[in-house]
Amino acid sequence: MKYMIAMFGSASEMGATKTPEWINEMIAFMIDIDVRLRASGEMVYNEGLADGSQAKVVRLENGQPVATDGPFAEAKESIIGFWIVDVASEERALEICGEIVQWSEVVELRPVPAGPPVQ
Amino acid sequence: MSSDRAVVDLLRELAPQVVGMLARRHGQWDLAEDAVQEALLAASAQWADAGIPDNPRAWLLAVASRRFIDAVRSDSARRERENTVAALETRGEVSDHDDSLTLLYLCCHPALSQPSQLALTLRAVGGLTTAEIAKAFLVPESTMAQRISRAKQQIRAAGLAFEPPPPAERAERLAVVLQVLYLIFNEGYTPGSRTSASGADLTDEAIRMTRMLRAGLPSNGEVAGLLALMLLTDARRPARELADGMLVPLADQDRSRWVAPLIAEGVELLDATLGACPVGPYQLQAAIAALHDEAATADATDWPQILALYTVLEQVAPGPVVTLNRAVAVAMVDGPRAGLALLGTIAAEPGIAHTHRYDVVRGHLLELAGEPAAAAEAYRAAMRGTASVAERRHLALKVARIAGS
């Protein structure tokens, strides 16, 4: 079963509120979980994202696409990275989330539904 | 394992030569390039087991010719062109260098978008497979295959033939070639760029292709300058990142880990070029890199000389990024306040003011000037602006250290 694990937070706030030791441990964790998810064959894809302040939102206004600059929400509601994992169960996906949330404000888990049956 | 590596190296070296020979013989360089790609895949499968044939280039040419003719025949819409192919006569003697250069000019044609130029150059000139290029750029193979095939369509649509650019355009076209090679180099050198075991090392590939270019244009100062710049920059690669992916700034790098033979080669190349050729931006940047590489310690860096070179570079190739770098040199020579004053002059430049590079330099100079709170604020602005996770982590540590002190 495929899931998207989305991590929320603000890197620039982290720099101001955490100790260098905490940041070093966080980096070690992020590298380690990458290695483990790849080794177990559960990693499909992952990316870290630029800060939410770099985001643009595009809406249709009077039929024309209009792009607006961020920020749009509280930093802790802004996505900062994501993983797509292919795991045996939701329980396992939640286990991974439980590790990540130690280092993140909020983690969201979302199933990636299987496609329609192949003809 | 080493024989696998030898096969790969040999194939990449021969690829542009065989594309060139086939394109010269039959025209239709894009079909020729497809045929060579198939021949390369066949060769890498067979040579690893059966060993490298006595004349590998003739082997590749024979297999690629076969594939080429099959492709032309199987395409009934191209029947007519087949007749034209048969009627084509081989032009006079042309060296492999000329062929490879013609191919390089074509792949870096200004009609193509930059991602297309990079991808096509790596495949046709670099001899990399589509899968290897896709891995290096972290995109799916189908995406890269589509990008390459669209680039070839654009070349066809523009009616470009397999021939060197006219002499009047050559300098301008060479500038694009140098830019593409430098972009490939930087793509590989960017902090946090992940290289998987089977993906190509773009930094090495860029150096290899620039060496090839230099073999064809041995007296061009900017080609030599670019090669020297790449070698002198690549020399520091082992020291710029820790095992956990943390970045190490130049001043803090363990200089014993720099690659001495690369520095020696870059310096020698530069010494033979500077003064012998018209000076250009790549030679100047290489000269600056050499001064950093030759300093035994960060404190021993010859900043006045670096500042003088940036001042010349600003005249030859003005731009906010050059001014940004010059501000660092000014700070090292005349103090952080002088550097900050120079930064102030480009604060309103639209291309630079809100980039993370500007904020990083500003933070660094504010830190040197004894303004930790303002420095931390500048670093935080840089963290919001950077697209590199590795750089963001590096900056987070800087901010945390300032906050804790």
CA A6 to the chain's CA centroid: 3
Amino acid present at A26: M
* Binary contact (A28, B379; C-beta < 8 A): no
Helix, strand, coil content of chain A in percent (nearest 5): 40, 35, 25
Beta bridge partners of B31: none
| Assigned token pair, A116 | 């329609």
Long-range contacts of B37-46 (CB under 8 A, 24+ apart): B37/B123, B37/B129, B37/B130, B38/B63, B38/B64, B38/B67, B39/B63, B39/B64, B39/B67, B40/B11, B40/B15, B40/B127, B40/B129, B41/B129, B43/B7, B43/B11, B44/B7, B44/B8, B44/B11
**Separation of alpha carbons B133 and B127, rounded Å:** 10
The answer as to whether A85 is a domain residue is yes
* Binary contact (B245, A27; C-beta < 8 A): yes
Between A15, A28, A54, which is nearest B399 by CB?
A: A15
Provide the 8-state DSSP code for B125.
I
The answer as to whether A28 is a domain residue is yes
**Separation of alpha carbons B172 and B182, rounded Å:** 16
The answer as to whether A13 is a domain residue is yes
pLDDT tens per residue across span B105-121: 999 999 899 999 999 99
Cβ under 8 Å to B: A residues 49-108: 50-51, 53-54, 81
* Binary contact (A23, B386; C-beta < 8 A): no
B399 touches chain A (CB under 8 A): yes
Name the residue of chain A whose CA is nearest to B396's CA.
A15
A39 touches chain B (CB under 8 A): no
CA proximity to B35, closest of B116, B124, B117: B124
Instruction: Please report, rounded to a whole number, the percentage of residues in chain B having pLDDT higher than 90.
Output: 58
The answer as to whether A67 is a domain residue is no
The answer as to whether A119 is a domain residue is no
Mean pLDDT of B84-108: 70
- Look at chain A and report how many structural domains it folds into: 1
Contact yes or no for B147/B136 (Cβ under 8 A): no
B387 touches chain A (CB under 8 A): yes
Residues in chain B: 405
* Binary contact (B244, A27; C-beta < 8 A): yes
> What's the predicted TM-score (pTM) here?
0.84
* Binary contact (A31, B379; C-beta < 8 A): no
B135 touches chain A (CB under 8 A): no
Find the distance separating the first CA and the last CA of chain B, reported in whole Å: 50
Tally A–B CB contacts below 8 A.
63
pLDDT tens per residue across span B128-144: 999 989 888 878 899 99
ipTM associated with this complex: 0.78
B136 touches chain A (CB under 8 A): no
Find chain B residues with C-beta within 8 A of A11's C-beta.
383-384, 392, 396
A18 touches chain B (CB under 8 A): yes
Structural domain containing residue A28: 2-51+77-111
B374 touches chain A (CB under 8 A): no
Beta bridge partners of A46: A83
pLDDT tens per residue across span A61-97: 999 999 988 656 665 678 889 999 999 999 999 999 9
B12 touches chain A (CB under 8 A): no
* Binary contact (B376, A16; C-beta < 8 A): yes
Provide the 8-state DSSP code for B244.
T
List of domains in chain B: 318-405 (1.25.40)
Task: Write phi, then psi, for A69 (nearest 5 degrees).
Answer: -75, 155
**Separation of alpha carbons B392 and A81, rounded Å:** 13
Q: How many other C-beta atoms lie within 10 A of the C-beta of residue B261? A: 9
CA B254 to the chain's CA centroid: 25
pLDDT tens per residue across span B64-84: 998 988 888 876 555 565 555
| Assigned token pair, B64 | 């690629």
The answer as to whether A43 is a domain residue is yes
**Separation of alpha carbons B28 and A53, rounded Å:** 48
Between B244, B381, B397, which is nearest A31 by CB?
A: B244
The answer as to whether A14 is a domain residue is yes
pLDDT tens per residue across span B286-325: 999 999 999 999 999 999 999 999 999 999 999 888 999 9
Max CA separation in chain A (angstroms): 55
* CATH number of domain containing A8: 3.30.70.1060
The answer as to whether A38 is a domain residue is yes
